[in-house]
Each structure stands twice: as C-alpha cells, then as structure tokens.
C-alpha cells in the first residue's frame, strides 16, 4: 500500500495510505483542504488539482488532453499539474509527493 505525502497550503504535510480508488478520493475522504472533487471524478471541475513531485511526474506522466482542458482554467496550473481524480492509486509506488495549489512548497518551486 503506497504511502503518499501531501504538502498543504498552511505549510503542513499529511501522509496518507491507500490502494484502491483514486488520489482524489483518498485525499477528499481524509479531508485534505483544497481537494473537493465536485464533479465526482468526471474530469470536469478542476477541484482536485495537485502538483506532482518530479518522481510522480516521471511515473505518471503529464496531464492528458482532457485534464489540460480543465487545468487551463486554473491560474496556478503548471507543467507538473494533474487532476487527482485521474490518478489511480493501484499503480502508485510508495513515497510520492503531491502539492496543493497555494502551498508554500508550491511557491518554492
Ligand atoms: S474531481 Fe472534478 S476534475 Fe477531478
């Protein structure tokens, strides 16, 4: 079961574990601030925007065209941005890091 780290807007970090469902579901169910999942994972709202650490980006690849069409509306979107609802936990290795928009970690990159 992969352990994943989230950098939050208040500067804190949360470490979560999960192996089924999506990254959005894991984060939303754990109350990670900024992960709303308004469209339920239909790749239609952008309320699950995360930025990937270099290891996660290398493993998962960049946003798909459908994701990019949504991320284009996010001011804080970057080349390492993805929609967490499009990331399955099943294939994630241990130790990846995800940063929420507006976090201090994001500002440092
Ligand atoms: S939950 Fe709506 S785009 Fe991810």
pLDDT tens profile 16-72: 999 899 999 999 999 999 999 999 999 999 999 999 999 999 999 999 999 999 999
- 43 C-beta closer than 6 A to ligand 1: yes
Domain region containing 14? 3-107
pLDDT at position 49 is: 97
pLDDT at position 50 is: 98
- 66 C-beta closer than 6 A to ligand 1: no
pLDDT at position 1 is: 78
Query: What is the number of domains present in the chain?
Result: 1
Confidence check: pLDDT of 105 > 80: no
Query: For residue 90, what is the domain's CATH number?
Result: 3.10.20.30
- 47 C-beta closer than 6 A to ligand 1: yes
The residue with tokens 């990331």 is 87
Confidence check: pLDDT of 108 > 90: no
């Amino acid at each position: 079961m992969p352990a994943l780290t989230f950098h939050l807007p208040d500067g804190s970090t949360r470490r979560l574990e999960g192996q089924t469902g999506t990254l959005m579901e894991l984060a939303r169910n754990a109350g990670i601030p900024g992960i709303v999942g308004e469209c339920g994972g239909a790749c239609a709202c952008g309320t699950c925007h995360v930025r990937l650490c270099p290891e996660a980006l290398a493993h998962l690849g960049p946003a798909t065209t459908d994701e990019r069409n949504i991320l284009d509306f996010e001011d804080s979107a970057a080349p390492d941005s993805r929609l967490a609802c499009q990331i399955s936990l099943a294939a994630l290795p241990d130790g990846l890091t995800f940063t929420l928009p507006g976090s201090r970690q994001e500002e440092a990159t």
